[in-house]
Amino acid sequence: MADTAYEPLIAYMKSQLNDPPDLQTLTLKLDDRLAELLYLSSMTDEAKLQSDLVRPFFEAGAQYDSYLASLPGSSLPATWDESTGLLLSGYVLVMMKDGVIYACSGLKKLTTQLGTVTSESTVYGSEKAFSEDISVNMNALRQSYPVASLHYDMRQIGSVSKTKVAMVYDNQVVDKEVVRLLEERLDQIQIDVLLASAQLERLITSRKFSLFPTLNISQRIDRAVQSLGEGKVVLLVQGTSFCLIAPAVLFDFVASMDDLYQSYWVSLALLTLRYIGIIVTIMLPAAYVAIVSYNPEFFRVQLTLSIAGSREAVPYPSFVEVAVMLFLLESLIEASIRLPKTIASTATTVGGLILGQAAQQAGLVSSIMIIVISTLAIANFVIPINAMSFSLRLVKYPLILLASFFGLIGLIVGLFGFIVYLADLRSFGKPYLKLRFSRLGRPRPGKS
C-alpha cells in the first residue's frame, strides 16, 4: 500500500498466519482515493470480489464508504485479533485511507465443488469429500479448521507435470520433527510426473518395501481436520481427491470416524470388533490348516469328527483346499473393484454363491471350508481403511505356509515374527504399535 498506515496490520496478519501463500493484498487507487484489500485467495470468490468490492470502488466515488457499510454481513472489526478471525472466516478486509477497516463477506461457496465419499463410509459422519482441485481443498480445510496457526507450504513436484503439493499442519501442536522429515523426503523426490497421492505415498515412505502403510490415505475432510487437531501433517496433491496423513500408526487404520460420533462404549465395542477382525483375517486360514493337518486334538471330539466327515470326499490336503478357495476369494474381491459399479456387487455375489456351492457339491472343498472362507471375507471387510485391509490380506499367506509345514508351532512362530516386525516399524519416528493419538471431542464415561 502506498500509505504505510496499514503496513503494521499487514505484517501482523502475516505473522499470525505464518505468512501463508494464499494471503493476498490488492491496492485500489483512483485520484486521491486509496483502499487496500486483504484476503485469503483460497477462501475468496474472485468473481464476488471483483463485482462487490473492486468495481464499486471506481464507480461509487466518494460514496464507497457508505456502500461498504450497507453491504449485507459487513462489519467494522474493533481489534486486530477480530480482523484475523474474520479473515479466516472468508471475509475481505477493506482498509481505507482514513483509517477505517471494513470486513466484507467474500467466502467462496463449496456446495457443488466438493466430492462425495466413496470409501470410509460412516453412519453419522459427513459425506463431503475432497475434490481434485487443491485450492478448493485448502478452502475446505480453512473453513473446517479456522485457526490462525494453520500453516501450509506449497511446492511443485515432477519435472514435467509440475504437480502442486501442499503440506498442511497446525503450527502450535504439530511435531516439528515430523515436519522436518517430510520436508526432507519431499525435497529428495526426483520424478518426471506425479499423478496421485498414492504415488506420492510410495515416494516418501520410510521403507520402500514395507508391507504395511505408514501414511494414511483418505478422502474424508473430517478425518483430515481431526488429524490436524492431533498434531499430524496433511498432504494435498493437485489432481486427486485423496489426501495423505502422517504419521500413521496401526490404531489410525483401525479407527473409523464413526468412533467420534458414537457413544464411548459403542465406539469401544466397535473398535474391539475390528481388532478381532484383524486377528481372524490373519490367523483363521492358517489355524484351519494347522489343526486339520497336524493338531485335530485341539477341538472337542464331536467337532473333530464333524470336520473329518465334511472332508471325507475332498481328495487333497487342507493346504490345497485353502489355496483354491483363497484364490477364488481374491479373484472375486478384485473383480468387484474392477467391474463397473452397477454390476460389480451382483456379479460377485452371484459368482461367489455359484462357485462355492458347486465346489462343495463336487467334492473339491468341504462345507467347513466354505464357512472358514466366508468368515474370513467378512472379517477382512470390517477394517475401515482399504490400505490396511490389502496388507492384511497378504499376511495370512506366509502363516499358511508355516502352518502347512509345522502345524500350530509354525503358526505361533509366524505370529511372533509378525508382532516383532510391527514393533520395529516406524512412521516418521512414531512406533507403529502406539495405541492411540488423543481424540478430539472423545466422550468419556462418567456419572452423567
pLDDT in tens, 358-408: 777 777 788 888 889 889 989 988 988 888 988 998 999 999 999 999 999
**What's the mean pLDDT when you consider all of the chain?**
86
Looking at residue 204, what is its pLDDT?
92
Looking at residue 4, what is its pLDDT?
52
pTM (predicted TM-score):
0.84
- What's the pLDDT band for 445 if we cut at 50, 70, 90? very low
- Secondary structure of residue 164 in the 3-state scheme: strand
- Residue 203 in contact with residue 97, Cβ under 8 Å? no
Q: Locate cell 501482523: which residue?
A: 12
What CA–CA distance (Å, rounded) separates 373 from 221? 35
Looking at residue 442, what is its pLDDT?
44
Looking at residue 228, what is its pLDDT?
94
What CA–CA distance (Å, rounded) separates 237 from 165? 5
Looking at residue 434, what is its pLDDT?
84
pLDDT in tens, 81-121: 888 888 888 889 998 877 788 889 888 877 667 888 888 88
Residues linked to residue 165 through DSSP beta bridges, in sequence order:
155, 237
Q: How far is CA 420 from the centre of its chain?
A: 26
Type of residue numbered 195: L
What whole-number percentage of the chain has pLDDT above 70? 94
Tell me which DSSP letter residue 63 carries.
G
All three cell numbers of 349, joined, read 455375489
- Residue 175 in contact with residue 152, Cβ under 8 Å? no
Q: Locate cell 474391539: which residue?
A: 272
What CA–CA distance (Å, rounded) separates 344 from 247? 34
- Secondary structure of residue 129 in the 3-state scheme: strand
